[in-house]
């Protein structure tokens, strides 16, 4: 089997790096081989030692110093520089004989997904063997409006990067049982989410949210979330099963 490439995508602080590290440990403990790729040129520190690090080619601090840019301008320049170097980065990644390539994407989700360079990066790195894992931030997703906002962002990411995608409820152990049950219900039942929006929002907010939600339902953007926790290990086996189901028809890796 070819290596599976799993991109952890989400807003800043949602737990991408922590989950990358946790899933790496889970795979290793199950007897599977995996490598990590850091695609954040501005990362100060990481939870794991990356096997391939974009900072070896593109480093935010160096771009700021060389071109006299602030952090935001340097991030934009870095995103395009990554695309220019992606063939060389891809050659390094493909040199590893591994089962999984775990790709930790930049915290600034708009820079990774909204620029044309992101399509170039994903196509070159993984081709048909790539899958997105979109992390829902529990602090946002526990309200109906927040959940719909996260759902809209997930749909936009999927539209920009048309490879298979799963939805993960990150840091699920940080939610109360009631909040967690609501989020899981909303991900499976749009009518329950409609009802929650009506209870939670003003009339103007509700109308806009419901119209957005109806549009998302029409294009099939809703999918059940998988609760995961880097601390407890919950859901990591489900992440593995989902990747294998989508990319390998449910077949397990031979250890």
The predicted-structure confidence for 167-178, as pLDDT tens digits, reads as follows 999 999 999 999
- Please state, in angstroms and rounded to a whole number, the distance separating the CA atoms of residues 175 and 235: 15
- Identify the pLDDT of residue 94: 95
List the chain domain ranges.
Answer: 4-248
Please enumerate in sequence order all residues whose Cβ is within 8 A of that of 117, keeping only pairs 6 or more positions apart, or say none.
79, 80, 82, 83
Of 33-47, 59-73, 174-188, 214-228, give the lowest mean pLDDT range.
214-228
- 93-139 pLDDT, tens per residue? 999 999 999 999 988 888 788 888 888 999 999 988 999 999 999 99
- Structure-token pair, residue 32: 């599977």
- Identify the pLDDT of residue 216: 67
Full 3-state SS string of 7-76: EEECCCCCCHHHHHHHHHHHHHHCCCCEEEEECCCCCCCCCCCCCEEHHHCCCHHHHHHHHCCCHHHHHH
> CA angle, 98 as apex, 92 and 104 as ends, to 5°?
65
Is the domain defined by 4-248 classed in CATH 3.40.50.300?
Answer: yes
pTM over 0.75: yes
Phi and psi for 136 in degrees, rounded to 5?
Answer: -85, 125
Q: HSE on the CB side for 61, CA within 13 Å?
A: 4
- Structure-token pair, residue 185: 């219900």
- Structure-token pair, residue 121: 């990066």
């Amino acid at each position: 089997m070819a290596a599976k490439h799993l991109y952890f995508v989400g807003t800043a602080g949602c737990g991408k790096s922590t989950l990358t590290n946790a899933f790496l440990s889970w795979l290793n403990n199950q007897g599977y081989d995996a490598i990590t790729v850091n695609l954040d040129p501005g990362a100060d520190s990481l939870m794991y030692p990356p096997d391939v690090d974009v900072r070896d080619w593109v480093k935010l601090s160096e771009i700021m110093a060389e071109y006299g840019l602030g952090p935001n301008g340097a991030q934009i320049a870095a995103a395009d520089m990554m695309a220019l170097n992606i063939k060389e980065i891809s050659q390094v990644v493909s040199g590893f004989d591994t089962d999984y390539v775990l790709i930790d994407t930049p915290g600034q989700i708009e820079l990774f997904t909204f620029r044309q360079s992101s399509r170039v990066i994903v196509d070159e790195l993984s081709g048909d063997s790539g899958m997105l894992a979109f992390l829902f931030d529990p602090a946002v997703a526990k309200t109906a409006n927040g959940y719909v906002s996260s759902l809209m962002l997930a749909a936009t990411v999927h539209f920009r990067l048309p490879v298979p995608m799963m939805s993960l409820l990150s840091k699920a152990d940080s939610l109360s049982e009631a909040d967690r049950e609501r989020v899981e219900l909303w991900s499976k039942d749009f009518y329950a989410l409609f009802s929650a929006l009506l209870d939670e929002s003003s009339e103007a907010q509700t109308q806009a949210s419901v119209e957005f939600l109806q549009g998302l339902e029409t294009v099939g953007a809703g999918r059940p979330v998988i609760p995961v926790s880097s601390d407890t290990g919950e859901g990591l086996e489900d992440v593995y099963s989902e990747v294998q189901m989508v990319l390998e028809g449910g077949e397990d890796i031979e250890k």
